[in-house]
Amino acid sequence: MNFPKKLIAILALLPGLAFANEAGYPLDKAPARASLSSLQNGAKLFVNYCLNCHSASSMRYNRLRDLGLSEDQIKNNLLFSQDKVGAMMTTALRPADAKAWFGVVPPDLSVIARAKASPGGTGGDYLYTYLRSFYKDETRPTGWNNMVLPNVAMPHVMWQLQGIRTVKMVEEKDPHEEGKTVHKFAGFEQVTPGKLSPTEFDTATADLVAYLEWMAEPAQGLRKRLGVWVLLFMTMFAVLAWRLSASYWKEVK
């Protein structure tokens, strides 16, 4: 008789457990960057820094026309291979080479902004925090590590923009075991400056994340606009139905 109650309790804990497995690093809120200029900059950053290893096999280059770019602009600024404007956004990196170099094949990024949503934040929040949380770690094969995803196989591809950072760790008493200490993250330390200031890098990262969110659902802008009109219609309909009901029951009484 107690089994259903126990099952309900376990299911209620699952969302929290899912986030606890993600290293427990708090996610920052991704800034809203929905303007065409931000999305265009995000597309440029994606092609220059992400498409070398990752594919976006569900997206065509010509879909970038929805961001206000002409086919000539796409061809001259975002196509660096022999692909045509109507081709899918794939990478030239072979899976076998990726496996040999990184130990894992880089995931497709077509819907990564939706796949990374969790109780800790949206997929955009995850990506925004992840891309800004790399630090230098000589113990890793790539020389880089990440606070959001420890021991990540991916190197910090935008390190020239952000610069080189290390982490500051402090020792604190272990709250669970007396006499022991634990290492606790105490912030990042800038070793060498990047081409961008911290604020500029955060803005560029927000543009890239905004593009990844748009790519995961290009119709989201239309969906949100239609949603507003649907809510307005339902509100007006509810008011009319309420007044009609009041008028009807008034006559019945």
For the residues 125-141, what does the mean pLDDT come to?
96
Domain check: are 90 and 104 in the same one?
yes
For the residues 59-84, what does the mean pLDDT come to?
89
Domain count, the chain: 2
SS (H, E, C) the chain: CCHHHHHHHHHHHHHHHHHHCCCCCCCCCCCCCCCHHHHHHHHHHHHHHHCCCCCEEEEEHHHHHHHCCCHHHHHHHCCCCCCCCCCEECCCCCHHHHHHHHCCCCCCCCCHHHHCCECCECHHHHHHHHHCCEEECCCCCCCEEECCCCCCCCCCCCHHHHEEEEEEEEEEECCCCCCCEEEEEEEEEEEEECCCCHHHHHHHHHHHHHHHHHHHCCCHHHHHHHHHHHHHHHHHHHHHHHHHHHHHHHHHC
CB 89 within 8 A of CB 59: yes
Domain check: are 30 and 116 in the same one?
yes
Domain check: are 116 and 136 in the same one?
yes
pLDDT tens, position by position, 11-64 = 333 333 333 335 578 999 999 998 999 999 999 999 999 999 999 999 999 999
Instruction: Tell me, yes or no, whether 149 lies in a domain.
Output: yes
Instruction: Tell me, yes or no, whether 109 lies in a domain.
Output: yes
Instruction: Tell me, yes or no, whether 5 lies in a domain.
Output: no
Domain check: are 160 and 228 in the same one?
no
Instruction: Tell me, yes or no, whether 9 lies in a domain.
Output: no
Instruction: Tell me, yes or no, whether 160 lies in a domain.
Output: yes
Domain check: are 202 and 101 in the same one?
yes
Residue 7 confidence class, pLDDT cut points 50, 70, 90 = very low
For the residues 163-190, what does the mean pLDDT come to?
85
Instruction: Tell me, yes or no, whether 177 lies in a domain.
Output: no
Domain check: are 196 and 248 in the same one?
no
Q: Model pTM? A: 0.79
Domain that holds residue 66: 16-164+192-218
Domain check: are 148 and 251 in the same one?
no
Percentage of the chain lying above the pLDDT 70 cut: 89
Instruction: Tell me, yes or no, whether 61 lies in a domain.
Output: yes
CA 188 – CA 134 distance, rounded (Å): 9
Instruction: Tell me, yes or no, whether 53 lies in a domain.
Output: yes
Lookup result for tokens 């309900």: 8
Buried/exposed 208-236: b ≥16 CB within 10 Å, e otherwise:
bbbbbbbbbeeeeeeeeeeeeeeeeeeee
CA 58 – CA 70 distance, rounded (Å): 20
More confident residue, 250 or 116: 116
Domain check: are 142 and 242 in the same one?
no
Predicted local confidence at residue 18, as pLDDT = 36
Predicted local confidence at residue 203, as pLDDT = 97
Domain check: are 114 and 237 in the same one?
no
pLDDT tens, position by position, 213-249 = 999 998 877 787 888 889 999 999 899 998 888 887 8
Domain check: are 249 and 232 in the same one?
yes
Domain check: are 145 and 229 in the same one?
no
Q: Which CATH number is 116's domain given?
A: 1.10.760.10
Domain check: are 247 and 138 in the same one?
no
Predicted local confidence at residue 82, as pLDDT = 67
More confident residue, 28 or 6: 28
